[in-house]
Amino acid sequence: MNFDVFFLFLNATITVLVAVGIVLRILRKEYLPVIKKHEQDGSDVVDGQ
């Protein structure tokens, strides 16, 4: 195996995985609690009004 070539594609893949990981973490930390809270509080119709 040519490690240097593998390194290029590993870098590209890791960068994408890290970016996706950060996006998913933002969703879990900043959006999911709000969604759960509103689901517990009642219907979204109330929120909308």
| Contact residues for another protein, defined by CB under 8 A | 1-13, 15-20, 22-24, 26-27, 30-32, 34-35, 38-39, 43-45, 47-49
Please state the closest distance from residue 40 (CB atom) to another protein, in A: 11
Please state the closest distance from residue 28 (CB atom) to another protein, in A: 10
Cα–Cα distance, 2 to 8 (Å, whole number): 11
Please state the closest distance from residue 19 (CB atom) to another protein, in A: 4
For the chain, helix (H) and strand (E) counts, in that order, are 3, 0
Those residues with Cβ within 8 angstroms of residue 44's Cβ, 6 or more apart along the chain or in another chain: 38
